[in-house]
């Protein structure tokens, strides 16, 4: 970015970036009173008024007589150079138009609204003419909190009185009623409040992280430690140091369901809760968070990946917890990986990054191995907890009937746990009742009308659901193909079917099922998880959801129903994913005093990945995996980009795909290769046909520039869409 003058006088030409899908920055005249570089403004665009950001001086390549004036400057802190640079670099990296990048950075409603006010109440100067019990309680509540003010409802609730009591005190001047901006700053956090006494390992790790934050410069640390080793305790010390230095901290979590437990820990550690930023946050609260982060009224944010695009005033630390988690990759709209973007943003604002995981991604492992990232390690669980013993159960010897999935060995292990009053988790990474519904008369498998995918039966919902597009339909009575009645059958297990089996096998046990689609709200899920942690169930049946960071102290047995499931894909990360997932799930067992066991049901116990999981030889696994990827020239040792063409017309998608493959000169110039076009593994989604190409290049080549030239040779016709996925994580 060219450094620009920081201020534009009234009438000066400014370039304004808007979130409208135009591929350019538009010229305007600075409004009355002028405007700052980075200012959020409202500008006329055709007949409309739209939000924009002053991106620099105007180019002057527009008919000067037609240049219109900025309508007004909005009441928000101007976007800082650092964030503008971040959006540009991230847009360059992911080949995303700037308008879409700006949309990511302005995802809060009512940014243009004038600051709205609300009434708040604080202690007044007069004494009430007549003191009642209720009135005394109100005044005491206010005195207790010093000079703080509250809304009418809060104050009445705190004092246990009706709002009319407060109103009465206002008339008397004993309570003062004031107007205050609605978007209030967040409570201050106290970094020196309640830190736990750290073990030797933890203290050393915390010291490294603290020193990093203290340096005030960019750097990334991989914080590796088995589940339950105290990674969270340790990185909270880095957050504390960041807060002491007056800088802002951001912690990214892969799953909203994990926030509740985290908030409680922050409250205990710092005396107040951080700001939250994720899809479960209300619109008004989003606006408050967005504004307060820009004004410095929020010191600490916990959120989902999109929190990276918040207008931090002085971001000093980003923690990416469970950094290997695939949900950090956004798979729709702007295709970015929050882990990589965290590193980019931190490097631009002199912040530290902590990547925390028990099972790091191969990318991070390789970066640490190459010395690009620092690495600190916690090798043992905190307290008496030890890592669970892991064993495989060879399913070939079991000879189970085709509608049963719990082996006799696993069954008796579960029974033994229940007898001791402990919990067992049965893990299966498949939502719904059965992945396939087949007609026993004609062999037809029920598919989605809009996607090239099978419909998954969900008995809980009494419907068939497409996991691609979300389309649902009632379970039919007759086969949609041959119209035979009563021959439709469920094939294979999902979490609901496993529950059915468990209820039969363990009639006296309390069985709880945890799957992301079974809870209407995040709150209901949180309540269920808390209940389970306190022992409300004997057997937990769960999907991937339970693999992530929850603490179940009574849980001592994990049974993995199908350890081979993830190994079947052609995905280059299949081995890595299976390794991570199995280790994570196993890590749920024995987190408190009781030791745990993890049993993996498998048909291929001698598979190298299964062997690596069982032996716990992580370094060995990573080295072998790294060797294979290096040999194949794939990430992180080579670069890849996926091109996804989608169109309602399959022929047009293939025609464009073939043209791209033919006209590959820009790619050949950097030695990159194109593969495809080929139908995507899921060749139709929401009625659109999908065709993929894959580009492979050496590390260190200017891949984005070449891709831009290559793709830029073509104009998209009709409803054709072209998406470029840099470093693709999934190949669906
Ligand atoms: P991780 O993030 O590595 O899974 P946590 O930080 O969640 O581990 O720690 C696991 C559990 O052990 C938590 O309940 C945590 O509060 C507790 N714990 C970890 N270290 C300490 C410590 N030094 N003192 C007291 N409790 C600790
Ligand atoms: Zn569908």
CA 344 to ligand 1 centroid distance, Å: 29
Going by the DSSP 8-state scheme, the letter that residue 305 receives in this structure is: G
CA 296 to ligand 1 centroid distance, Å: 30
Q: How many CB atoms lie within 10 A of CB 388?
A: 23
Nearest Cα residue to atom 26 of ligand 1: 196
Starting from the CA of residue 228, give the closest ligand: 1
701 and 693 Cβ atoms separated by less than 8 Å: no
Q: For residue range 232-252, what is the model confidence (pLDDT) as tens digits?
A: 999 999 999 999 999 999 999
- Residue 579: Cβ-neighbour burial (10 angstroms; 0-12, 13-18, 19+): buried
CA 234 to ligand 1 centroid distance, Å: 9
Alpha-carbon Rg for the chain, nearest whole angstrom, is 29
520 and 491 Cβ atoms separated by less than 8 Å: no
Is the confidence at residue 147, as pLDDT, over 50?
yes
CA 732 to ligand 2 centroid distance, Å: 13
Distance CA 35, CA 7 (A): 6
Q: What does the pLDDT read at residue 524? A: 76
The lowest-confidence range among 187-201, 436-450, 486-500, 540-554 is: 540-554
CA 363 to ligand 1 centroid distance, Å: 26
Nearest Cα residue to atom 10 of ligand 1: 228
- Which of 197, 230, 252 to mutate to test ligand 1, by most ligand atoms within 8 A of the CB atom? 230
47 token code pair: 């007949």
Distance CA 464, CA 432 (A): 9
Starting from the CA of residue 684, give the closest ligand: 2
CA 228 to ligand 1 centroid distance, Å: 6
Is residue 233 within 6 Å of ligand 1 at its C-beta? yes
Backbone angles phi, psi at 152, to 5 degrees: -55, -45
Q: For residue range 545-557, what is the model confidence (pLDDT) as tens digits?
A: 777 667 788 888 9
221 and 368 Cβ atoms separated by less than 8 Å: no
Q: For residue range 286-322, what is the model confidence (pLDDT) as tens digits?
A: 888 999 999 899 999 999 999 999 999 999 999 999 9
Is residue 228 within 6 Å of ligand 1 at its C-beta? yes
Give me the residue label for tokens 């998406």.
Answer: 723
Going by the DSSP 8-state scheme, the letter that residue 383 receives in this structure is: T
CA 513 to ligand 2 centroid distance, Å: 25
Transcribe 551-586 into DSSP letters: --TTEEEEEES-TTGGGSS--TTHHHHHHHHHHHHH
Strand 300-303 vs strand 275-277: parallel, antiparallel, or unpaired?
A: parallel
Nearest to 511 by CA among 426, 598, 398: 426
Q: What does the pLDDT read at residue 655? A: 94
The whole-number average pLDDT for the span 181-196 is: 85
Distance CA 365, CA 180 (A): 49
For 224-284, give the secondary structure using H, E and C: EECCCCCHHHHHHHHHHHHHHCCCEEEEECCCHHHHHHHHHHHHHHHCCCCEEECCCCCHH
Half-sphere exposure of 312 (CA within 13 A, CB side): 30
- DSSP three-state, residue 340: helix
410 token code pair: 């696993």
721 token code pair: 């869409």
Q: For residue range 79-114, what is the model confidence (pLDDT) as tens digits?
A: 999 999 999 999 999 999 999 999 999 988 777 776
Q: Name the CA dihedral angle for 138, 141, 145, 151, rounded to a multiple of 10 degrees.
A: -50
- Which of 233, 387, 550 to mutate to test ligand 1, by most ligand atoms within 8 A of the CB atom? 233
Distance CA 600, CA 308 (A): 37
Is the confidence at residue 8, as pLDDT, over 80?
yes
Is the confidence at residue 385, as pLDDT, over 70?
no
238 and 306 Cβ atoms separated by less than 8 Å: no
The whole-number average pLDDT for the span 476-503 is: 92
Distance CA 485, CA 476 (A): 9
CA 457 to ligand 1 centroid distance, Å: 39
- Expressed in percent and rounded to 5, the helix, strand and coil fractions of the chain are 35, 25, 40
Nearest Cα residue to atom 11 of ligand 1: 228
More confident position, 461 or 510? 510
Is residue 584 within 6 Å of ligand 1 at its C-beta? no
Is residue 587 within 6 Å of ligand 1 at its C-beta? no
Q: How far apart are the first and last CA of the chain?
A: 36
Report the nearest atom of ligand 1 relative to the CA of 202: 23
Report the nearest atom of ligand 1 relative to the CA of 227: 4
176 and 139 Cβ atoms separated by less than 8 Å: no
Q: What does the pLDDT read at residue 215? A: 95
Report the nearest atom of ligand 1 relative to the CA of 226: 3
Distance CA 164, CA 61 (A): 63
More confident position, 601 or 607? 601
Is residue 588 within 6 Å of ligand 1 at its C-beta? no
Distance CA 515, CA 231 (A): 26
Q: For residue range 327-351, what is the model confidence (pLDDT) as tens digits?
A: 898 888 889 999 999 999 999 999 9
Is residue 198 within 6 Å of ligand 1 at its C-beta? yes
Nearest Cα residue to atom 9 of ligand 1: 230
| Averaged confidence pLDDT in the chain | 89
CA 474 to ligand 2 centroid distance, Å: 14
CA distances (Å), origin 611, targets 226, 575, 620: 18, 12, 11
345 and 318 Cβ atoms separated by less than 8 Å: yes
630 and 422 Cβ atoms separated by less than 8 Å: no
Name the packing angle between helices 200-215 and 231-244 (round to 10°): 30
Is residue 382 within 6 Å of ligand 1 at its C-beta? yes
- Which of 228, 260, 551 to mutate to test ligand 1, by most ligand atoms within 8 A of the CB atom? 228
The side-by-side arrangement of strands in the sheet containing 511-514 is 389-394, 597-602, 555-560, 423-427, 539-542, 511-514
- DSSP three-state, residue 706: helix
| Nearest-5° Cα angle at 64, 62 to 65 | 125
Nearest to 105 by CA among 311, 349, 333: 311
Backbone angles phi, psi at 563, to 5 degrees: -70, -15
User: How large is the greatest C-alpha to C-alpha distance in the chain, in angstroms?
Assistant: 90
Nearest Cα residue to atom 20 of ligand 1: 230
Report the nearest atom of ligand 1 relative to the CA of 199: 23
Alpha helices in 66-220 (DSSP H): 81-94, 98-105, 133-144, 152-159, 163-171, 200-215
Q: For residue range 419-433, what is the model confidence (pLDDT) as tens digits?
A: 999 999 999 988 889
Distance CA 18, CA 24 (A): 9
Starting from the CA of residue 454, give the closest ligand: 2
Taking CB atoms within 8 Å and a gap of at least 24, the contacts of 451-458 are 451/682, 451/684, 451/685, 451/686, 451/687, 452/682, 452/683, 452/684, 452/685, 453/682, 453/685, 456/431, 456/432, 456/494, 457/432, 457/433, 457/490, 457/494, 458/431, 458/432, 458/433, 458/496, 458/517
Q: For residue range 431-470, what is the model confidence (pLDDT) as tens digits?
A: 889 989 999 999 999 998 888 888 899 887 788 988 877 7
Is residue 69 within 6 Å of ligand 1 at its C-beta? no
Cis peptide leading into 636, omega within 30 of 0? yes
Q: What does the pLDDT read at residue 115? A: 67
Nearest Cα residue to atom 4 of ligand 1: 228
Is residue 225 within 6 Å of ligand 1 at its C-beta? yes
Give me the residue label for tokens 């994913």.
Answer: 577
| Nearest-5° Cα angle at 226, 224 to 232 | 70
The whole-number average pLDDT for the span 473-488 is: 91
Is residue 357 within 6 Å of ligand 1 at its C-beta? no
Most confident of 76-80, 218-222, 514-518: 218-222
Q: What does the pLDDT read at residue 707? A: 96
Nearest to 69 by CA among 16, 140, 106: 16
- Which of 203, 232, 379 to mutate to test ligand 1, by most ligand atoms within 8 A of the CB atom? 232
115 and 75 Cβ atoms separated by less than 8 Å: yes
Report the nearest atom of ligand 1 relative to the CA of 229: 3
Is residue 433 within 6 Å of ligand 1 at its C-beta? no
Q: What does the pLDDT read at residue 233? A: 94
- Identify the helix (H) or strand (E) that includes residue 393: strand 389-394
Is the confidence at residue 728, as pLDDT, over 80?
yes
Is residue 202 within 6 Å of ligand 1 at its C-beta? yes
256 and 522 Cβ atoms separated by less than 8 Å: yes
For 396-453, give the secondary structure using H, E and C: HHCCCCCCCCCCHHHHHHHHHHHHCCCEEEEECCCCCCECEEEECCCCCECECCCCCC
Starting from the CA of residue 451, give the closest ligand: 2
Starting from the CA of residue 354, give the closest ligand: 1
CA 382 to ligand 1 centroid distance, Å: 6
DSSP β-bridge partners for residue 623: none
Report the nearest atom of ligand 1 relative to the CA of 385: 12
Q: What does the pLDDT read at residue 528? A: 85
Q: For residue range 13-46, what is the model confidence (pLDDT) as tens digits?
A: 999 999 988 878 999 999 999 999 999 999 999 8
CA 199 to ligand 1 centroid distance, Å: 10
CA distances (Å), origin 396, targets 399, 434, 524, 604, 606: 7, 22, 39, 8, 12
CA 458 to ligand 2 centroid distance, Å: 15
Starting from the CA of residue 449, give the closest ligand: 2
- DSSP three-state, residue 90: helix
Nearest Cα residue to atom 19 of ligand 1: 230
CA distances (Å), origin 318, targets 49, 304, 307, 341, 354: 35, 12, 10, 11, 6
Is the confidence at residue 533, as pLDDT, over 70?
yes
DSSP β-bridge partners for residue 44: 49
643 token code pair: 């091109």
Going by the DSSP 8-state scheme, the letter that residue 197 receives in this structure is: P
Starting from the CA of residue 549, give the closest ligand: 1
pLDDT band at 1 (very low <50, low <70, confident <90, very high): very low
Q: What does the pLDDT read at residue 2? A: 43
pLDDT band at 3 (very low <50, low <70, confident <90, very high): very low
- Identify the helix (H) or strand (E) that includes residue 143: helix 133-144
Percent of the chain with pLDDT over 70: 96
Is residue 364 within 6 Å of ligand 1 at its C-beta? no
Burial call 297-327: b when 16+ CB within 10 Å, e when fewer: bbbbbbbbbbbbbbbbbbbbbbbbbbbbbbb
CA 289 to ligand 1 centroid distance, Å: 29
Q: For residue range 645-673, what is the model confidence (pLDDT) as tens digits?
A: 999 999 999 999 999 999 999 999 999 99
DSSP β-bridge partners for residue 426: 541, 559
């Amino acid at each position: 970015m060219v450094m620009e003058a920081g201020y534009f006088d009234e009438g000066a030409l400014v370039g304004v970036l808007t979130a409208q899908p135009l591929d350019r920055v538009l010229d305007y005249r600075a409004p009355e009173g002028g405007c700052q570089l980075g200012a959020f403004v409202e500008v006329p665009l055709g007949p409309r008024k739209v939000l924009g950001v002053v991106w620099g001086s105007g180019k002057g390549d527009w008919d000067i007589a037609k240049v219109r004036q900025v309508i007004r400057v909005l009441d928000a802190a101007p976007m800082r150079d650092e964030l503008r640079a971040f959006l540009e670099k991230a847009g360059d990296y992911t080949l995303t138009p700037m308008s879409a990048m700006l949309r990511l950075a302005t995802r809060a409603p009512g940014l243009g609204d004038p600051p709205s006010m609300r009434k708040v109440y604080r202690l007044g100067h007069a004494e009430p003419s007549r003191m009642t019990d209720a009135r005394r309680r109100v005044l005491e509540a206010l005195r207790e909190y010093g000079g703080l003010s509250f809304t009418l409802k809060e104050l009445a609730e705190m004092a246990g009185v009706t709002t009319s009591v407060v109103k009465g005190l206002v008339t008397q001047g004993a309570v003062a009623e004031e107007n205050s901006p609605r978007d209030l700053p967040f409570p201050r956090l106290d970094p020196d409040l309640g830190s736990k006494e750290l073990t030797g390992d933890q203290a050393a790790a915390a010291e490294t992280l603290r020193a990093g934050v203290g340096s005030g410069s960019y750097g990334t640390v991989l914080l590796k430690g088995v589940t339950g080793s105290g990674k969270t305790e340790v990185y909270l010390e880095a957050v504390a140091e960041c807060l002491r230095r007056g800088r802002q901290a951001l912690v990214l979590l892969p799953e909203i369901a994990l926030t509740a437990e985290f908030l409680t820990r922050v409250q205990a550690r710092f005396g107040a809760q951080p700001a939250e930023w994720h899809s479960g946050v209300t619109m008004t609260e989003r606006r408050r968070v967005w504004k307060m982060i820009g004004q410095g009224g929020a010191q600490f944010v916990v959120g989902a990946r999109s929190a990276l695009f918040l207008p931090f005033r002085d971001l000093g630390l980003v923690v990416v917890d469970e950094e290997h988690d695939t949900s950090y990759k956004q798979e729709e709209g702007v295709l970015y990986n929050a882990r990589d973007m965290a590193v980019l943003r931190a490097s631009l604002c002199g912040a530290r990054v902590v990547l925390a995981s028990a099972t790091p991604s191969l990318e991070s492992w390789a970066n640490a191995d190459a010395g690009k990232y620092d690495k600190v390690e916690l090798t043992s669980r905190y307290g008496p907890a030890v890592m669970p013993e892991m064993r495989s159960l060879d399913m070939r010897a079991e000879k189970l009937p085709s509608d049963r999935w719990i082996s006799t060995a696993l069954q008796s292990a579960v029974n033994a746990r229940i007898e001791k009053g402990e919990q067992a988790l049965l893990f299966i990474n498949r939502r719904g009742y059965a992945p396939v519904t087949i007609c026993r008369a004609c062999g037809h498998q029920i598919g989605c009308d809009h996607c090239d995918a099978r419909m998954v039966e969900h008995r809980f919902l009494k419907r068939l659901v497409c996991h691609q597009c979300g389309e649902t339909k009632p379970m039919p009575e007759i086969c949609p193909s041959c119209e035979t009645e009563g021959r439709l059958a469920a094939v294979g297990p999902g979490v609901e079917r496993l529950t059915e089996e468990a209820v039969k096998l363990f009639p006296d046990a309390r069985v709880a099922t945890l799957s992301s689609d079974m809870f209407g709200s995040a709150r209901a899920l949180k309540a269920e998880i808390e209940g389970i942690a306190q022992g409300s169930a004997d057997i937990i049946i769960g999907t991937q959801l339970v693999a992530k960071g929850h603490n179940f102290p009574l849980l001592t047995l994990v049974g993995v129903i199908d350890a081979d499931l993830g190994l079947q894909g052609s995905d280059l990360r299949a081995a890595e994913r299976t390794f991570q997932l199995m280790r994570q799930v196993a890590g749920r067992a024995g987190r408190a005093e009781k030791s745990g066991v993890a049993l993996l049901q498998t048909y291929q116990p001698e598979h190298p990945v299964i062997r690596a999981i069982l032996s716990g030889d992580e370094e060995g696994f990573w080295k072998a995996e790294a060797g294979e990827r290096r040999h194949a020239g794939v990430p992180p040792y080579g670069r890849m980009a996926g091109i996804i063409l989608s169109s309602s017309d399959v022929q047009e998608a293939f025609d464009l795909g073939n043209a791209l493959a033919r006209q590959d000169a820009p790619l050949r110039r950097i030695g990159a290769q194109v593969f495809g076009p080929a139908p995507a593994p899921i060749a139709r989604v929401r009625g659109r046909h999908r065709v993929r190409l894959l580009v492979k290049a050496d590390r260190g080549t200017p891949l984005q520039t070449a891709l831009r030239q290559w793709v830029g040779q073509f104009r998209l016709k009709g409803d054709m869409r072209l998406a470029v996925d840099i470093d693709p994580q999934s190949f669906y």
